[in-house]
Amino acid sequence: MRRQIAALAVLAQNTFRGLVRRQSLLNVAILGVGLVLLALVVSSISYGFPARILRSLGLSGVGIALNLLALLLGASLVSEEMQQRTLYVVLTRPVDRGAYVVGRFLGAAAVVACASVGFYGVLLAVLWGVEAGWQSADALALGFMTLEATVLLAFATLMSCLTTPLLATGLGLGFWVISASIDDVRRLLASAEGIVVPIIEAARWVVPSFHVLNYRDVAVYGDPVNLGAVAAAAGHGLTYAVALVALAAFALSRRELG
């Protein structure tokens, strides 16, 4: 067990080193900074509450950039190693395939976490420019945005154990859209009848609700925080992330590396 944890740390560290050199990371970083700057432009030309608009649009931009980053990193996290055959030598060491997946995932999750801090740093600098500084609710919103991206990363990692990076990215986008809209769709179809109702109910259990993980309104409008709801939301996100990574580990353990 100790040996597996040590191997896991080595794999996570190596994954982090590899991913931070990616061109896609730079592209997403540019996009994230661009979205924050766009928020600044929009807030400056809007009527009233510029700091609130800036914070709202800025946090949304950071969320989009983090999710895109998670998708891009996760979609090739394992399949690329199979294509490049770097995986073969690693798996002939005393490293479980499960530990390999978890190590890769943790390395990528660390990149996402660092990116979220970096993006927020840019947003904070811009907020200071309009004389609106840091507030503790931002940390809550940012933490849940990072958790949402981590769930997406876990799904993309699962897909990368099963298919090509391109298909994994496409399926990840679908997962993102469904997870972000499942609660709204359910509300819209509250009075609907027929086959669509059980499908939506089933989907609600299969995919996570990103609506539950959205604490941006707390940061923007100062909505009251219910600690029980925060804990439940964190549990919701973490459960899905752990389950998806466990599925990814299982998928790789069954996979032929021919």
Partner 1 sequence: MMAIRVRGFRKRFGGSLGKKPHQAAHDIGFEVRTGQVYGFLGPNGAGKTTTIKALLGLIRADGGTLEILGDPPQARGWRHRVGYLPEHPAFYPYLSGAETVVMFGRLAGMTDRDARRAADRLLDRVGLGHAKTRKLSKYSKGMLQRVGLAQALVADPELLILDEPLTGLDPVGRRELRDLFRELGDEGRTVFYSTHILSDAESTCREVCIVSEGRVRYTGSVEGFDAGRDRRYSLVLDHGRRALPDGLVGAACFSQAEPGHGHRMRLDFDDRARAEAALRAALDAGLEVIRYDPVQESLEDFFMRMVARTQQEEAA
Does the footprint of partner 1 cover residue 118 (CB under 8 A)?
Answer: no
Could you tell me how many residues of this chain bind partner 1 (CB under 8 A)? 24
CA angle 43, 46, 52 (to 5 degrees): 50
Site for partner 1 in 237-256 (CB under 8 A): 256
Contact between 119 and 36 under an 8 Å Cβ cutoff? The reply is yes
Does 18 contact partner 1 by CB under 8 A? yes
Q: Which is nearer to partner 1, 27 or 86 (CB)?
A: 86
Per the CB < 8 A criterion, the answer to whether 71 and 150 are in contact is: no
Eight-class DSSP state of 177 = H
- Give the nearest distance from C-beta 200 to partner 1 in angstroms: 32
Choose between 6 and 188: whose C-beta lies nearer to partner 1. 6
For position 11 contacting partner 1 by CB under 8 A, the verdict is: yes
Among 198, 224, 228, 258, binds partner 1 (CB under 8 A): 258
Percent helix, strand, coil in the chain, to 5, is 80, 0, 20
Q: Is 1 in the site for partner 1 (CB under 8 A)?
A: no
What Å distances lie between residue 151 and 173, 180, 186, CA to CA?
12, 12, 21
Q: Which is nearer to partner 1, 104 or 216 (CB)?
A: 104
Residue 20 or 31: the one with the smaller Cβ distance to partner 1 is 20
Q: How far is CA 24 from CA 108, 124, 149, 151, 166, in A?
A: 13, 24, 16, 19, 14
Nearer to partner 1, 93 or 187 (CB): 93
Question: Are 39 and 62 in contact, with CB atoms under 8 Å apart?
Answer: no
What is the closest distance, in whole angstroms, from the C-beta atom of residue 89 to partner 1 in the complex? 6
The contact pattern for partner 1, residues 69-108, with x = CB under 8 A and - = no contact, is ---------------xxx-xxxxxxxxx------------
Inter-CA distances, 32 with 27, 35, 91, 130, 257, Å: 9, 5, 36, 19, 36
Q: Which two tokens stand for residue 134?
A: 């840091």
Identify the residue whose tokens are 């970096």: 118
Q: By CB under 8 A, name the one of 5, 17, 49, 192 that touches partner 1.
A: 17
The rounded distance, in Å, linking the Cα atoms of 80 and 72 is: 12
Least distance (Å) from partner 1 to the CB of residue 96?
7
For residue 55 the two structure tokens come to 């914070």
Q: Does 187 bind partner 1 (CB under 8 A)?
A: no
Nearer to partner 1, 85 or 187 (CB): 85
The Cα 122–Cα 41 span in angstroms is 14
* Contacts (CB under 8 A) with partner 1, residues 19-38: 21
Q: Which stretch, 16-24, 28-36, 181-189, 237-245, contacts partner 1 (CB under 8 A)? A: 16-24
Phi-psi region of 131 (alpha: psi -120 to 50; beta: other; left: phi over 0): left
Residues that bind partner 1 (CB under 8 A): 3, 6-7, 10-11, 14, 17-18, 21, 84-86, 88-96, 256-258
